[in-house]
Homo-oligomer: A and B are copies of this chain.
């Protein structure tokens, strides 16, 4: 496994792989790797021959300096995990290597209005900008994003399509800790008590799944079922419990087509997100979370 921190070297390494006829897979991360990230690499491997993984805590997608500064960083541990996951190239650039008087930004309209976009102005603009840059540096054939950040994943799919990136974007399933809490680098900030309480998010999604299985289609009833479970975990604040269209990410009053049920809640000062895709296939709804 090669670890490089400048763009020229990353391009050179990938150039060798490409010249050898390999399909390039790419997993962008902000580091502090966990099993969720490693499963993205696994997914990527099923579609490509060479695994590039980037580690870059992207300042411009944070709207809270404290959140940025406190974002967990433990690179030696990351390298170790990446190596064990069979990553071929770790690209870990400095801030200066990526941003020098950056004046160009990429933005996706409409899809960024709701869910995390509503309370994190500029967040997805920061994400889309850095992903565009990384796509142009790595030039992957395939790139994998986690369902855990479903709004991000769907925005990147739309962005790649709108900007004609010749890259296949894949959404990979959520990996959960025991008890159901979705894996996240931010879980590090949770006390054991908070962690226990935060499992209520997962129980909320499970309750929604049961309600849907019993025929419930109304957004109000489904989100109420989530809230009941979530409240039992005493979150410090609920940002949203929202049912939106999978394609437009606009709120829906009832489930008609494929939809996303998404949750964001604070435990302590840590904001956690989770979601469930309610997929409509041949008239039947199935829940993926």
**Which A residues fall within an 8 A CB radius of B?**
7, 11, 102-111, 128-129, 132-133, 136-137, 139, 158-159, 162-166
Contact = CB atoms under 8 A, between A and B. Distances in A.
A104 B129 CA distance: 11
Contacts of A136: 163-166
A11 B166 CA distance: 10
Contacts of A162: 102-104, 133
A165 B166 CA distance: 14
Contacts of A163: 104, 106, 129, 132-133, 136
Contacts of A165: 136
Contacts of A166: 11, 136, 139
- Give the secondary structure class of A's interface: mixed
Contacts of A106: 104-106, 163
Nearest to A139: B166
Per assembly, the copies of the chain total 2
A164 B133 contact: yes
Nearest to A165: B136
Contact of A159 (B11, B104, B139, B164): B104
Contacts of A108: 103-104
A104 B158 contact: yes
A111 B108 CA distance: 21
30 contacts: A7-B164, A11-B166, A103-B108, A103-B110, A103-B158, A104-B106, A104-B107, A104-B108, A104-B109, A104-B128, A104-B158, A104-B159, A104-B162, A104-B163, A105-B106, A105-B109, A106-B106, A106-B163, A107-B107, A129-B163, A132-B163, A133-B162, A133-B163, A133-B164, A136-B163, A136-B164, A136-B165, A136-B166, A137-B164, A139-B166
A104 B136 CA distance: 16
